[in-house]
Structure 1
Amino acid sequence: MGSLLLNTLKFAVQNNASDVHFSSGNPPVLRILGELKRVDVRSITTEELTDFATSFLNNEQKQLLKQKTEIDLSIDFPETARFRVNIYKHLNGLSMAFRTIPHKILSLEELRMPEILSKLTRRKKGLILLTGPTGSGKSTTLAAMVNEINQTRREHIITIEDPIEYIHPQKESLIHQREVNQHTKDFASALRSALREDPDVILVGEMRDLETITYALHAAETGHLVFSTMHTNSAAETVDRIINVFPSEQQQQIRTILAASLLAVIAQRLIRQAMKADRIALMEILVNTPAIQNLIREGKTHQIDSSLQTGSEYGMQTFERSLKQLKQYNLVPPEIELEDIF
């Protein structure tokens, strides 16, 4: 296995890098605290990248890479870390993007998450959505919430991921983790199957399409606790995105179903901490109260933002309130403003 590449991955983990980029003809590049930093070593050859990929890809993955010219997977280097990997071909050859996944799943308390997230994990049914752009910490938050259930309740938890990121050991709960393209065809197929597998909790890596969203809503509506993610920027945008996926003649029905089954939308970003080389989550949290249910049913999602402002007694918060609280606890630099984040 390529020593330069493996040593770079070890170096990246030691320096708290979130991502590592290997590219033909270039030295490795790390993303640390959101910024790209070039590693001061020689450039990587295409042959090194090909040999490195060959060392950890199985035969099916090698074939997929030939057919699709890009592939997603996860890999565990026991003495280094676990990584989500994307391998892709481009003009100058081959590239790999590694996203670091710590072996240890941090608790909600260790992540300094608001108490409402712990309360949400104690619910028995409904839909909880984590939203935000790529690299905003959604997977870490989801893993912490699932881990809280695993530590405290005897539930059957099924995760459907692309690829599997955090590995959940069996604790109080029975957990089955399934990976798209390896254990199942796609999210929708696995969700449909999951409903026949006696689940209590279902985690869907991402709600990307109409079929997956339909099954996720059905699962939440029929007595399961469902977690998923979307690449939306706010709670109101998330509600609109779900409804707008459906044909216009179905949208009123979906508003009614979503109003009844949604528990919360948690939108997040990562910002640098004040006292250490790490980042912390800035969160907007929408809790589905009776007032919010009415807004969703009546198609008045433009009024959700004002409800967020006044819903702190239910655990709701805006990004602005979240930033203010982080500053009060000296967790982020005092000079940072929302305009610096968005």
Structure 2
Amino acid sequence: MPEHTPVEIFNALLKLGVDSGASDVVVKTGSPGHLRLSGKLNAVEMEPFTKETVEGFVLESVPEVFRPTWKTNSQIDYSYVVEGMGRFRVNAFRQRGTVSVVFRYIKNDVPTLEGLQLPAEPILKITNVKDGIIIVCGATGSGKSSTLAAMLNWINQNLDRHVITLEDPIEYTFDDRKSVFQQREVGLDVPTFELGITSVLRQNPDIIFIGEMRDRITFETAISAAETGHLVLTTMHANTVAQGLTRLFEFFPAEEQTLARRQVSNTLRGLICQKLIPTLGGSGRVPACEILTADSVVKNLIAEAQTEKITAMMETGTDSASFSFNRELLRLFKANKITKADAIRFSPNPQALDMNMKGIFFKT
């Protein structure tokens, strides 16, 4: 009986992952495959991956245009599609002289806000604007890409917009409904991220989706686009809204902070930060969001560098458009969707949340 090829071995593992509901599949030379189920890593009962199998898969699956990058940098991001199964975001890299590969499964169907169990009303209030900047924050694996895909899906179903995306790599793919989508993948459709971001304003967009706010050039382009009537959606690695606001200004030296704050206060429309919390039964995860809607009060506080007051307002206010993680965790706990222990564990201020659960709240 002939031996299975590297692609056949990997595809079998990926199918097991998809059938099991895994969000990620982790492969390391010399070890069996691992599936991430409900946030937890589980080993698969199989023979350890050989060096030849892992290297053979990467060489066969990586797009030809990326092969020089893989050879030079020993790491690469790309998309991998299995017919009848779906699309995967792939990161291949070398560690201790051998190759490892991590897959993130991207479902064929573009998600909806309701399907992701996200608070649709405040998110749509942010999304349904003509211009400005919207940022979705969270740690790796917190569902940022899915949330933004759901927001773009709503735009596609309801608004006539020209949407240009710049992604590395493309994750969800959109069929044109009311909107027209142009999805550009770095390395395949445009040589570099920098070239794509500097040319996007010449492509007549209404909405620009930037995969990640990664540097000053990206941020300045986003501000320029927002100031000239475009809507920019992007992501950032931050654990809270306050941390996200702080990180925005780290792109600028001290002497430029005042101007940067004025620009952000004028262009920011909303900031969403999220975490995935284990459900009460332990069979899945539910998102908990912290949302800041940039109204006139928030804009003034941003311009005046009063981040602490913004945090206090989200924590103690009653506005349904802006609320803290603690308010959302308390809501999920009262709705019997998460346990008290997990609510406390994922809270940025567990002592305050514990008091809230006892009916004790502080007013500003």
CA contact (8 A) 1:292 1:307 kept: no
Query: 1:35 corresponds to which residue?
Result: 40
Name the TM-score, length of structure 2 as normaliser: 0.90
Rounded Cα–Cα distance in structure 1 between residues aligned with 2:347 and 2:293: 23
CA contact (8 A) 1:131 1:230 kept: yes
Query: 2:101 corresponds to which residue?
Result: 96
Rounded Cα–Cα distance in structure 1 between residues aligned with 2:106 and 2:45: 24
CA contact (8 A) 2:278 2:342 kept: no
Rounded Cα–Cα distance in structure 2 between residues aligned with 1:64 and 1:189: 17
Using the TM superposition, give the Cα deviation of residue 153 of structure 1 relative to its aligned residue in structure 2, in angstroms.
1.1
Rounded Cα–Cα distance in structure 2 between residues aligned with 1:83 and 1:141: 17
Using the TM superposition, give the Cα deviation of residue 254 of structure 1 relative to its aligned residue in structure 2, in angstroms.
0.8
From 299, 303, 311, give the equivalent of 1:297: 303
Cα 1:212–1:337, aligned 2, differ >3 Å: closer, same or farther?
A: same
From 20, 32, 35, give the equivalent of 2:25: 20
Matched, 1:323 2:343: no
Cα offsets for 1:174-223 (capped at 9, x unmatched) = 00001122222433432221111111111100011111111011111211
Q: Which consecutive residues of structure 2, in runs of 5 or more, have no partner in the other structure? A: 349-364
Name the TM-score, length of structure 1 as normaliser: 0.95
Cα offsets for 1:241-280 (capped at 9, x unmatched) = 1112112221101100100110111011111223573211
From 242, 246, 255, give the equivalent of 1:249: 255
SS in 2 for 1:277: coil
Matched, 1:173 2:192: no
The one-letter code sitting in structure 2 at the alignment partner of 1:294 is: N
Moved more, 151-160 or 235-244: 235-244
Matched, 1:76 2:90: no
The one-letter code sitting in structure 2 at the alignment partner of 1:125 is: D
Equivalent residues in 2 for 1:1-342 (5 A)?
Answer: 1-2=5-6, 3-114=8-119, 115-275=121-281, 277-340=283-346
RMSD over aligned Cα atoms: 1.6
Using the TM superposition, give the Cα deviation of residue 335 of structure 1 relative to its aligned residue in structure 2, in angstroms.
4.3
Using the TM superposition, give the Cα deviation of residue 311 of structure 1 relative to its aligned residue in structure 2, in angstroms.
4.1
Moved more, 274-283 or 229-238: 274-283
Query: 2:358 corresponds to which residue?
Result: none
SS in 2 for 1:37: strand
The one-letter code sitting in structure 2 at the alignment partner of 1:116 is: P
SS in 1 for 2:101: strand
CA contact (8 A) 1:24 1:92 kept: no
The one-letter code sitting in structure 2 at the alignment partner of 1:118 is: L
Rounded Cα–Cα distance in structure 1 between residues aligned with 2:235 and 2:143: 11
Rounded Cα–Cα distance in structure 2 between residues aligned with 1:48 and 1:211: 40
The one-letter code sitting in structure 2 at the alignment partner of 1:322 is: E
Using the TM superposition, give the Cα deviation of residue 128 of structure 1 relative to its aligned residue in structure 2, in angstroms.
0.6
SS in 1 for 2:76: strand
Rounded Cα–Cα distance in structure 2 between residues aligned with 1:65 and 1:206: 22
Rounded Cα–Cα distance in structure 2 between residues aligned with 1:97 and 1:233: 23
The one-letter code sitting in structure 2 at the alignment partner of 1:14 is: D
Rounded Cα–Cα distance in structure 2 between residues aligned with 1:280 and 1:229: 19
CA contact (8 A) 2:127 2:151 kept: yes
The one-letter code sitting in structure 1 at the alignment partner of 2:80 is: I
CA contact (8 A) 1:164 1:178 kept: yes
Rounded Cα–Cα distance in structure 2 between residues aligned with 1:80 and 1:63: 28
SS in 2 for 1:207: coil
Aligned length: 342
CA contact (8 A) 1:187 1:212 kept: no
Cα offsets for 1:266-297 (capped at 9, x unmatched) = 01111122357321111111111111111111
CA contact (8 A) 1:105 1:147 kept: yes
SS in 1 for 2:290: strand
Rounded Cα–Cα distance in structure 1 between residues aligned with 2:10 and 2:347: 32
CA contact (8 A) 1:187 1:204 kept: no
Using the TM superposition, give the Cα deviation of residue 104 of structure 1 relative to its aligned residue in structure 2, in angstroms.
0.8
Q: Which consecutive residues of structure 1, in runs of 5 or more, have no partner in the other structure? A: none
